[in-house]
Structure 1
Amino acid sequence: MGAVLAVVHEPLGTQAWSPLVFELCALARTDAGAVAARVAERHRMYDVDLDDMADDIPDAGGLGRHLLRLTPRGPADPGGALTDDLLADLLAPPAAGTIAVTGHQRALLAAAVDSRCGPGRYVEQIFWDWAGPLDLSRFITAWQSVAEREAVLRASFDWAGAARLVLHDRAVVEVVRHAHADVAWSELLRQDRARGFELYRPGLLRLSLLDGPPDTTGAGHSPTRLLVTYHRALLDERGARLLVRQFYRAYLAGGVLPGGDRRPDIRDHTQWLTRQDPAGAREFWASAAPPADAAVSPGRPGGPLRHTEGPGRIQRRLRPPETSRLRSWAAGRGAGESSALHAVWALLLYRAAGADGPLPVAFGVHLSGRDMSLRAAADIPGLLGNPLPMTVTVDPSAALVDLLLQARNAALDLCPYAWVSNDRIREWSGRACGPDLTETTVRFDSHPELPQNLRAELAARGIRVGVPQSAGGDTTLPVTLVAHYDADGALVLTALYDRARFTDTDASSTLSQCLQLLRRLPEHPDEGFTVGDALRLLSTSEVPRLAPPEPGGTRLALAVLRAGAPGADVVCLVTVPGVTPGAYDTLVREHEGPERIVSLSVTGRQVPSGPLRELLGGGRRLTLCGAGPAARVAHEIARSAAERTGEAWAVVMTGVGGAAESAEALSRALQAVRARST
């Protein structure tokens, strides 16, 4: 990944003609030029100049200091405000390309780096069995060949400013083979999920192979269990299965796929998004977004506080005959099974609201994002779709078939807007501030089948492969309901839920009630059967309860990490969720400067604006440091102080990286700040 980039900046407040001046620390001239070129290309409201500075920092290793000056081209382009996009382009790795993340990726990434439950959150896994000969060397080479052709496998995340995908020239796909006696299958699943990923490094998908027991029958090779572990912010399950299909092609071709990058890919999808005209979507969502009084909760208030941490997962299935009957029932009324599931979910949310009369009900419907006017979009591995809020009105006096058709029509209305992020929907509907639009999502997964020609080629080499199955899952909401068909044609429902808000018992009850309605609704004739009649089928079942979320607001915590020399300047390390663990600890331990070092922890969205002069003694200077996502917060604190007092505090900002790399970048920049006053 290389060194983490660091810049020093002194905010002067927001003045229309003020230039933005950044010192790029410890960079080769070519890398500094790459940063300047990227900023000039993407931020054309500025004239960009790059000058070399005298390098008076010891042990710089041939790396220099450079002054990057951004001068506004006109009064309509005010300088002074460091936008998230500009910050991302300043701090991203110089030699790597970057693309914007999708709206859903941004939400998952924010949840992942903010997780207090460890690195295993939002890690997904699929597994299947491989029976027949397995050449490990060819297996590894084949996966590496897929990585060389698929940009998504060479991607990492950068969240220092606006969240971006960083596209690297190369990434290694980790493959580890375990002997049968070394680890149990359940333990391998748990361990590999708990490892998580360092999201700032490429290689966000890895393989584990677990050999089967020794073959004592003489029948041939013992089956091997294959496990693919990947991060949900990078790929959906369809994308992971598409990569497995590419791997089979590479394995059958001797381990190497011909050609360069396969296109279209995530870069083409990003370009397609930028070409979409938002006018029609804005008009649609201005009226189609859920109203503020819509029922969205899967349970009544009052669940136990902080039941436990981490995600929960419960799975149930309709037997194949029941699935067939549900399909026939829905089709006879002009709808599909997904519409039946949406109608049933709306009934459960209505029941949780405790209403008597008509009430709008809203929940997310996840669309894959691959039904777009982009050639071969269905074969792009990545996370292209979004959960879009869908609203239906549940009226106990209305015919149930009317609710079914209402759900069908509402889902069809969403299809042209799968590319629209929830942030935009909130903005266009006038609900940019306030609670989330929905608290649950329903996702109906369709999995790509392995082409028959590939299966036949594998069989010709004595290889039989199973159908990948999902293991685990996670959600950023209280509940996500996932539906898919298994190999027998049964409808399988999986509830993914936040155990801090929804107990295992309540989640199980919700899923059971959902299945009960799906089984029983086809038993009743349409004539005279109302929504109220359907709700009465659950009259003996308890309504689940949902614990409230943790209170929001901004919380501050100040601590002295190192006393420093008498009268020394003060370094304030700003800490926010998403700062690489250990980065500041490493800096405090290894930085050789005389400075007094303190920590300011900020939790919440509001940036503190209060003065920090109480940190300083007579004659002391203050330098604010922000690693990764703390860079923006550190800058905003300094900018606010400059507007209020006219005093310019130096701000050290670094990109996202490992603890050692981040600490080294911060230390180099602090040396540059110290050199200014000597």
Structure 2
Amino acid sequence: MSDNRTAAHRPLTAVLHPGTPDGTPDSTPDGTPDGTPEGTPEGTPDGASAGGRAGGADGVRAGRGRGGEPTLDLHGLLDPVLLEAALAHLATGPAAARTRPRIRRHGPAHHTLYLEGGYPLGALADLLSTPHPQPGPEQASWPHLPHYSEPTALQQHLLADIAAHPHHQVAQLTWRWHGPLDTARFTAAWQAVFDRESVLRTAITPGPGPGPRLAVHAHARPTIQRHPPTAFTRQALADHERRHGFDPTRPGLLRVALLDGAPQPPAAGHGPSAPTEVLLTYHRALLDAWSVRVLLRAFYRAYLTGTLPGGERRPDLRDYQRWLAGQDTRAAQDLWSTRTRCAPPAPAPPPPAPTRPAPPAARGPRAARPGRPAARPAPGPARQRTGRTRARLTRAEAARLTTWAARQGVGDSTVLHAVWAMLLHHIHHPGRRGHIRFSVTHPGRTIALEDITRIPGPFTTALPVSVDVDPATTVRALLHQLRDQHLDTAAYEWLSPAQIQQWTRQPAPATVLSFEPQQRPGEDLAARLAAQGIRVEDPEATAEPTAHPLSVLARHDHLGCLVLTAAHDRRHLHDDQVAALLAHTARLLRHLPLTATRTTTVTQVLSHLTPTPRTPAPHAPRATGCLPRLAPAPAPAPRLELLRPARHPRAGTLCLITTPGTPHHCHTGLPHHYSGPEALTALHPGTATLTQCLHALRAHTGEHTELALAAYFGAGALAYDLARHLHTPARRPLVVLGAGCRPGTERPCRQAVADLAQALSAALAARPPA
């Protein structure tokens, strides 16, 4: 019987012949002596017919090439795009990660592939001989194989953070569903969204290089689980889903859990109605909160109509990656480099308190391997390490703030940034001009790419803000300074925080502010849902581990109130400290619209803060007043005062270490009572550390200078430590302690100085020469 099918659609067979074990030359299956491939560049099937298929009329046969290496004969039209897709699919395995075949073209429908002995030749033959339909003009990959791409710089930054902290892998949104909920209809609606959005069919797989890569699959199924009301509490369900995490090598890195509400007694004329808790968990390297809300609107449409028209969404994340590859970062690098040159070095964030390391089994199977996605978030007290605090402005207060901000020519978010900058300035630089750094999240949706606001993907980024705060400047000037800087930064929302850290060589700021825009289902969707007896609340982020010591999220709820939510790492800050800081933030946001004018200064605004003393826990860091210090304040450098110069160059130095509380006359009066030839100096340590005092002494005394240390009781421990560290074979510091005096009249002070001078003279006279 004749076969009327075209060569591209005829089913193929594969005959596999591994290479000869002794390495003797063999011949190709057509009987011609085999040699080095000619006329075709390596890895390029030259002359393949456009629109042809891999494997044609006769089949796929494997033979042996020169030296016994395996060969694969392809009889049929060879499509280079589909061959590349098959090779890329096999390249995920370790044996084929770096192997490329050599190709020899015998004719339009006959090619020979030369492969190394360890290559999975059978798997390649299976892929090339699999029947499949003819691809359309837009199809650029094998129908049953994923489309591979490299992650963006922001995704690489997120994956590196997840590899180091597996409990940062997922984020969650939760809301209540009022009314009937059909599980089958619910699942079918999400399946329609999965079919439309390629990001929901994306997996994160190991690549041939050191880092992972993205694989967009043709199909993926949503995971929907419905639990009875007695199975979990709301928080227990969120913890369970977070611990479960994702296997990133499988597509569908978004799932939904439903928790039925407890049955309620029937109301008059109505059946029992209990809201259903909906918990959505997603992978942070593929989606952000904006994207999830975009997907929710598509889901509601699919739930109402049963399908989503239009096929797969384009543009999508792959188009964004192509747009990103064409961007020039030189202007952005110049912008942040200029800001860094104009600003003093920022202090590093405080180190975490020592904690017991997690057992190896709790770190995840891939957590210790950089460049690979962690398969599961590590279990442990991650949520217990994260504190959560809230403050709220009423609807009237929030509306007043919006009106006042508009009159200043700024938005609500800029006012929040200014308040935060003033508070951090009050903490770190009270009463003087100082430089403040914090991060601000940008949605990443202002770039020049078509339909970017509706493309789901990880676009939200946190970019640093650097501002000089002068207590004498006006609040209006500070607002405009932050607004202008935000506008300059908005042009580079596509950057990753890691790129900026690399350019500026500064650590990431310790705090990050986020102002979440309002994204609710349109009125048409809400009305159509209400027509079916359904009402959905606004999604809300669950308490999740923060990648910063302190992050603050501001958003408007469904009542119009402005809600401030602070998430902090308890290893750095205590709950009471963050609560006090957030309370001050809300107080200033209420206060500014009522009292601030064009001439109101930063000092005047901060003067309205009323401290509310709190009692921190014993393990909490100390606070400055009622405000937390996010990084330990650097101790002031010790002051070294010259009381009298030396009488000859080799006389040596005598240093008096001052004691807090000792009258000033006991220090300045020493030159009047001591007649030795040494130079007399006074070291005022204050709260400086031992290292700082050592640096001060070494900077003003030579390596071979004879040194003697004098102190009154109270500074003896510091004097002894200094002498111990300054002791060398050439210099043996002598320590003399005096009895000091009681504050009061000058008579006891003069006597104490005279006694110390006499003791110094006797001790130095009795010291053997060096």
In the other structure, the counterpart of 1:515 is 586
Give the counterpart of 1:449 among 520, 523, 526.
520
AA paired with 1:498?
D
Aligned pairs for 1:142-157 (under 5 A) are 142-157=189-204
Aligned pairs for 1:127-526 (under 5 A) are 127-158=174-205, 161-217=210-266, 219-220=270-271, 221-254=273-306, 256-289=307-340, 293=344, 306=355, 309=382, 310-354=385-429, 356-429=431-504, 431=505, 435-526=506-597
- Displacement of 1:266 in angstroms is 1.0
- Displacement of 1:242 in angstroms is 1.1
User: How has the CA–CA distance of structure 1 residues 479 and 107 changed in structure 2, closer, same or farther, with 3 Å as cutoff?
Assistant: farther
Q: Is the 8 A contact 2:147 2:216 kept in 1?
A: yes
* Alignment: residue pair count: 481
Aligned pairs for 1:115-134 (under 5 A) are 115=165, 119-134=166-181
- Displacement of 1:206 in angstroms is 0.7
User: How has the CA–CA distance of structure 1 residues 454 and 295 changed in structure 2, closer, same or farther, with 3 Å as cutoff?
Assistant: same
User: How has the CA–CA distance of structure 1 residues 303 and 232 changed in structure 2, closer, same or farther, with 3 Å as cutoff?
Assistant: closer
Q: Is the 8 A contact 2:169 2:283 kept in 1?
A: yes
> Percent sequence identity over matched residues?
37
1:204-248 Cα distance to aligned partner (Å, 9 max, x none): 111111112224315234332221111222211111111111111
- Displacement of 1:36 in angstroms is 5.4
User: How has the CA–CA distance of structure 1 residues 166 and 356 changed in structure 2, closer, same or farther, with 3 Å as cutoff?
Assistant: farther
Output the CA distance in 2 between the equivalents of 1:413 and 1:173: 40
Q: Is the 8 A contact 1:120 1:195 kept in 2?
A: no
In the other structure, the counterpart of 2:626 is 542
Output the CA distance in 1 between the equivalents of 2:71 and 2:418: 58
- Displacement of 1:356 in angstroms is 4.3
**Matched residue of 1:501: which SS?**
coil
**Matched residue of 1:113: which SS?**
helix
1:630-658 Cα distance to aligned partner (Å, 9 max, x none): xxxxxxxxxxxxxxxxxxxxxxxxxxxxx
- Displacement of 1:487 in angstroms is 0.9
- Displacement of 1:174 in angstroms is 0.6
User: How has the CA–CA distance of structure 1 residues 106 and 242 changed in structure 2, closer, same or farther, with 3 Å as cutoff?
Assistant: same
**Matched residue of 2:606: which SS?**
helix
In the other structure, the counterpart of 1:585 is none
- Displacement of 1:437 in angstroms is 3.9
Output the CA distance in 1 between the equivalents of 2:175 and 2:580: 30
- Displacement of 1:542 in angstroms is 2.4
**Matched residue of 1:53: which SS?**
coil
Output the CA distance in 1 between the equivalents of 2:347 and 2:603: 19
AA paired with 1:110?
A
Output the CA distance in 1 between the equivalents of 2:73 and 2:523: 54
Aligned pairs for 1:542-621 (under 5 A) are 542-546=626-630
User: How has the CA–CA distance of structure 1 residues 305 and 291 changed in structure 2, closer, same or farther, with 3 Å as cutoff?
Assistant: farther
User: How has the CA–CA distance of structure 1 residues 533 and 103 changed in structure 2, closer, same or farther, with 3 Å as cutoff?
Assistant: farther
In the other structure, the counterpart of 1:657 is none
In the other structure, the counterpart of 2:367 is none
Q: Which runs of 5 or more residues in structure 1 are unaligned? A: 1-18, 20-25, 41-45, 66-93, 549-678
Output the CA distance in 2 between the equivalents of 1:285 and 1:28: 54
- Displacement of 1:179 in angstroms is 1.3
Q: Is the 8 A contact 1:28 1:62 kept in 2?
A: no
1:378-412 Cα distance to aligned partner (Å, 9 max, x none): 11111113211122110011122211211111111
Give the counterpart of 2:164 among 111, 114, 120.
114
Output the CA distance in 2 between the equivalents of 1:381 and 1:29: 43
The structure carrying a bigger strand percent of its residues is 1
- Displacement of 1:305 in angstroms is 5.0
User: How has the CA–CA distance of structure 1 residues 281 and 545 changed in structure 2, closer, same or farther, with 3 Å as cutoff?
Assistant: closer
Output the CA distance in 2 between the equivalents of 1:121 and 1:182: 25
AA paired with 2:507?
D
Q: Is the 8 A contact 1:123 1:231 kept in 2?
A: yes
Output the CA distance in 2 between the equivalents of 1:460 and 1:28: 62
**Matched residue of 2:498: which SS?**
helix
User: How has the CA–CA distance of structure 1 residues 267 and 339 changed in structure 2, closer, same or farther, with 3 Å as cutoff?
Assistant: same
User: How has the CA–CA distance of structure 1 residues 514 and 147 changed in structure 2, closer, same or farther, with 3 Å as cutoff?
Assistant: same
In the other structure, the counterpart of 2:155 is 105
**Matched residue of 2:115: which SS?**
strand
Q: Is the 8 A contact 1:180 1:212 kept in 2?
A: yes
Q: Is the 8 A contact 1:104 1:387 kept in 2?
A: no
Output the CA distance in 2 between the equivalents of 1:302 and 1:154: 39
Output the CA distance in 1 between the equivalents of 2:501 and 2:235: 41
**Matched residue of 1:462: which SS?**
coil
Output the CA distance in 1 between the equivalents of 2:355 and 2:591: 35
AA paired with 2:551?
T
AA paired with 1:228?
L
- Displacement of 1:505 in angstroms is 2.5
**Matched residue of 1:362: which SS?**
strand
- Displacement of 1:413 in angstroms is 1.3
Q: Is the 8 A contact 1:295 1:350 kept in 2?
A: no
AA paired with 1:210?
L
Output the CA distance in 2 between the equivalents of 1:348 and 1:179: 46
Output the CA distance in 2 between the equivalents of 1:35 and 1:457: 46
1:52 aligns with 2:115: yes
1:482-539 Cα distance to aligned partner (Å, 9 max, x none): 1111111111111122222222222222212222222223332425532122233347
Structure scoring higher RCO (CA < 8 A, sep ≥ 6) equals 1
User: How has the CA–CA distance of structure 1 residues 455 and 54 changed in structure 2, closer, same or farther, with 3 Å as cutoff?
Assistant: same
Q: Is the 8 A contact 2:538 2:557 kept in 1?
A: no
TM-score by length of 1: 0.64
**Matched residue of 1:417: which SS?**
coil
AA paired with 2:516?
D
User: How has the CA–CA distance of structure 1 residues 278 and 39 changed in structure 2, closer, same or farther, with 3 Å as cutoff?
Assistant: farther
AA paired with 2:299?
F
In the other structure, the counterpart of 2:644 is none
Q: Is the 8 A contact 1:289 1:390 kept in 2?
A: no
Say which one has the larger Rg.
2
User: How has the CA–CA distance of structure 1 residues 538 and 302 changed in structure 2, closer, same or farther, with 3 Å as cutoff?
Assistant: farther
Q: Is the 8 A contact 1:458 1:464 kept in 2?
A: yes
Q: Is the 8 A contact 2:145 2:218 kept in 1?
A: no
1:29-72 Cα distance to aligned partner (Å, 9 max, x none): 999964756999xxxxx9965442346x9xx895589xxxxxxx
AA paired with 1:105?
Q
